[in-house]
Structure 1
Amino acid sequence: MNSCTAAAATSAPAKAAWPAVWSLGLGVFGLITAEFLPASLLTPMANSLSISEGTAGQAVTATALVALFSGLLITAATRNIDRRWVLIFFSFLQAVSSVMVAWAPSFDLLLVGRLLLGVALGGFWAMSTATAMRLVPAAQVPKALAIIFSSVSMATVVAAPLGSFLGNLIGWRAVFALTALPGVLALLWQLWVLPTMKPENVSSLHTLIKVLKRPGVVAGLLSTILIFSGHFAFFTYLRPFLEKVAGAGVEAISLILLAFGVVNFIGTSLAGHFISRSLRHTLALAPGLMGVLALLLTLFGHLTLLDGVLVALWGLAFGMVPVGWSTWLASTVPDEAESAGGLLVASIQLAISAGAAGGGIIFDMNGATGVFTGSALLLLAAMATVLVAVRVRPLPTAE
């Protein structure tokens, strides 16, 4: 066992705290539901606030930008605070954010609510892998991460199709108000089951630089930037694409988004199986498949039924992405998981910002087909980077 692995193993418990893992999963469900809602409610939000769909999409950009800085700074900013209370605070912020967005009379105030969500999102994702490593034995970390990220998939099931469907029935504001409930429930459950987790390492800017200098880390972060830029450029403008290119109605869009969420859950569940066989190939397969699917949508986007199949397959591929890269992080930088997690989150949120913002500009200029073409190029570049430059270490095995 090398020194990095040994250092990480000292904080790993002998017995898994699965209720605590599931409580984090509920918190993730609330965070991701709130994050994804604008994608399914973009049109009614834009109409209600008298702005363009491209401008409304910047609600995603604002959240991602704050999450970028939150992910980088949260470990150092909370270096003396029990991680239990930090995680509980993120659930509180999610609930407050959802209420603010629901009642915001203007786009400016709506953005304030989305900024609070960004603090919680960036902070949680920075600590998610490190927290999983402190709640379960090392060999069970991929399973714990799969549970946490399964909540992401479940959130897409709720946020995308139900957001679109319920938004048509009760209005987008009421849908956002409902998303405060998971945050409140997660807060109460986490108060009950999360153990005390005192900070272990003092993080600083110097620590982040040291992590960046490790072999293969920069290539891995570049790959995540390309993947998430491509994904969020695609997903943020999926509804306008289905409306304007495929001519799909609200019911059809809701079904397609439901298929995305359900199959995304399956992809997350299968991720552990693929990762155990080859982490590198799993990391490369997902963006490669997504890139091909984006190109097919640009060619056959007018066929609604085929669109549904292609979007569902996209969900399957993307389901493997968060688990794969979190597993890569846990195996590559086990001794500085919080700092490395902050860098990974910053990369992802930078990508989301670029994907949503750049996608909005391209959408207003060339429509959704142009957005999807750019998305495909980014994803295929990510696949090539993984195969050529990303360093992958052997995963721990159960004794």
Structure 2
Amino acid sequence: MTTNDLHDSPPPGASRGAWRAVFSLTLGVFSLVMAEFLPASLLTPMANSLAISEGQAGQAVTVTAVVALISGLLVASVTQRLDRRHVLLAFSLLMIAANLLVAYSPDLILLLAGRVLLGVALGGFWALSAATVMRLVSEHDVPRALSILFAGVPIATISAAALGSYLGELVGWRNVFLLTTAISVLTLIFQYATLPRMTPERPSPLGTLVSVMKRPGMMVGIVAVLLVFCGHFTFFTYVRPFLEGVSHMGINALSSTLLAFGVANFFGTLAAGYLLERSLRMTLLLMPLIMGSLGWLLATLGGFSTGTDALMVALWGFAFGAVPVAWSTWITRVVPDEAESGGGLIVASIQLAIALGAAAGGVVFGIGGVLTVCATAGTMLLAGAALVVAGVRTQSVDTAFEACDAERSACS
């Protein structure tokens, strides 16, 4: 099966509508990611309002990540006979319900219930995103479409951190979630107007996950994903202690550096489309190589110059911007016939890497301090880059055979 076979109906005049659909998915990414991270910037007022500890309120983020991991693995099999348009619209409805439940929650139980609904929508959406993009645009345009899709992530992250805390002080945390609900409603309307019908391609029973993992090069690729994302989140979880304790930044310099990280991350996401159109393997290798080198530079040279430290953190943000786009593109190339199940594996791997990275960073921070965290993160990332060189395939086995046959035909 070729990638073009995955389109329901690819008439030439449908391209403009297809790109509108891609932008509607980008708005979905923005809405989901902003809702995911809002509690982190509203932790104290949420805890005070609900009469719970900040640690308990923090579980609003944890439970979403855990449920997203499970949802990402199960969505392809649970919804295997449903039109993908209907499934994606259902996720937007779940997001609206989740935000409303949180906004009006009188206690921790309903707060966590809302976050469970968000986790279902988040994991399911990300698992289907790459496969959906494959059905909206041509094979050549998939990297560019994915870079547009992922551009919603840094915008949402910045908005959740900066606007969330600012608006929380002005209008209260519940009204911030109501505002997020309004954005979710706009997302639903936009997606309803632009997403075409996308009937399921083939049944995807739960055993498909196992068969996909057994394909040549998949296990190596998933381990590389774990190393790269774990390395990133090991560092990023402790970037503030680094900037405060090693770079000795005040609150203004700290805020500016984190903003620069977010802006650079946004441009790195957009640049990913350009890089991936030229070489998937180069992008998969270059980004963790840059980040790993920066990790060791921060560990050895950090603190000598505030400006240099800020520049290296911003460069890290730029490099990481291309990473999710590159690995999502990788899934569309190595398992084009099972992109939904492959996408679920990627989502689960990333959610697991977030948890492992934060945990590993905490252990290392307690043992050797924040500079050791930087070195550990750098080592993980360089190991991920080495795996890309050693054994990560960048095309499916069938595609490789077709290329070999074409080469032999040309030479005969």
TM-score range, shorter chain: 0.7 to 0.9
Q: Are the equivalent residues in 1 in contact too, given 2:288–2:382 (CA < 8 A)?
A: yes
What is residue 126 of structure 1 aligned with on the other side? Answer: 127
**8 A contact 1:7–1:335 mirrored in 2:** no
Verify the 8 A CA contact 2:226 2:349 in the aligned structure 1.
yes
Residue type matched to 1:50 in 2?
Answer: S
Mean Cα deviation higher: 73-82 or 170-179: 170-179
1:317 aligns with 2:319: yes
Equivalent in the alignment of 1:330: 332
Instruction: Indicate the residue corresponding to 2:406 in structure 1.
Output: none
Partner of 1:79: 80
- For 1:254 and 1:163, the matched residues in 2 are separated by 14
Gaps of 5+ in 1: none
Hey, what does 2:280 align to over in structure 1? Answer: 279
Q: Which residue number corresponds to residue 392 of structure 1?
A: 394
Match of 1:113 in 2: 114
Cα pair distance change 1:254/1:329, threshold 3 Å: same
CA displacement at 1:284 relative to structure 2: 1.2
Once residues 283 and 368 of structure 1 are traced to their aligned partners in structure 2, the CA distance between those partners, rounded to angstroms, is 27
Deviations 1:273-300 (A, max 9, x none): 2222221121011112122223333442
**Are 1:5 and 2:5 an aligned pair?**
no
User: Compared with structure 1, are the counterparts of its residues 189 and 282 closer, same or farther at alpha carbon in structure 2 (3 Å cutoff)?
Assistant: same
Counterpart CA distance in 2 for 1:303 and 1:37 is: 32
Would the alpha carbon gap of residues 265 and 349 (structure 1) be closer, same or farther in structure 2, given more than 3 Å must change? same
The one-letter code sitting in structure 2 at the alignment partner of 1:71 is G
CA contact (8 A) 2:69 2:348 kept: yes
Structure 1 residue 271, shift from structure 2 partner: 1.0
Are the equivalent residues in 2 in contact too, given 1:60–1:356 (CA < 8 A)? no
Partner of 2:410: none
State how far apart, in whole Å, the 2-side matches of 1:239 and 1:62 are. 23
Q: 2:341 aligns with which of 339, 342, 347?
A: 339
Q: Distance in 2 between matches of 1:90 and 1:23?
A: 13
Deviation of 1:39 after TM superposition, in Å, equals: 5.3
Q: Which amino acid aligns with 2:318?
A: L
Equivalent in 380, 392, 403 of residue 378 of structure 1: 380
Q: Is the CA contact (8 Å cut-off) linking 2:3 and 2:139 kept in structure 1?
A: no
Give the match for residue 195 of structure 1: 196
How far the C-alpha of 1:324 sits from its partner, in A, is 0.8
Q: Are the counterparts in 1 of residues 34 and 160 from structure 2 also a CA contact under 8 Å?
A: yes
- Evaluate the alpha carbon distance shift between residue 66 and residue 154 of structure 1 in structure 2; reply closer, same or farther with a 3 A threshold: same
CA distance in 2, matches of 1:375, 1:26: 31
Query: Is the contact made by 2:6 and 2:201 (CA closer than 8 Å) also made in structure 1?
Result: no
What corresponds to 2:53 in structure 1? 50
Q: Does the CA contact (< 8 Å) of 1:279 and 1:324 recur in 2?
A: yes
1:38 and 1:370 mapped to 2: Cα distance? 29
SS at match of 1:179: helix
Residue 67 of structure 1 is matched in structure 2 by: 68
Inter-CA distance 154–297: structure 2 relative to 1 (3 Å threshold): same
Mark the CA change 1:109 to 1:338 in structure 2 (over 3 Å): closer, same or farther.
same
Taking every aligned residue pair, what percent have the same amino acid on both sides? 55
Instruction: Render the CA deviation track for 1:137-158: whole Å, top value 9, x for unaligned.
Output: 2222222112111112322332
SS of the equivalent of 2:395 reads coil
Structure 2 counterpart of 1:90: 91
The 1:380/1:137 distance shift into structure 2, 3 A limit, reads same
Closer/same/farther in 2, CA of residues 170 and 288 from structure 1, 3 Å limit:
farther
CA distance in 2, matches of 1:197, 1:30: 22
State which drifts further: 170-179 or 74-83.
170-179
User: Which whole-Å CA distance do the structure 1 matches of 2:54 and 2:390 have between them?
Assistant: 43
Within a 5 Å distance, the mapping from 1:181-260 to structure 2 comes to 181-260=182-261
Higher Rg: 2
Determine the C-alpha separation between the residues in 1 that align with 2:277 and 2:287: 15
Q: Structure 1 CA distance, aligned partners of 2:3 and 2:275? A: 26
Deviation sequence 1:309-330 (CA, Å, 0-9, x none):
2221111101111111111111
Give the root-mean-square deviation of aligned CA atoms.
3.1
Distance in structure 2 (CA, Å) of the matches to 1:42 and 1:205: 37
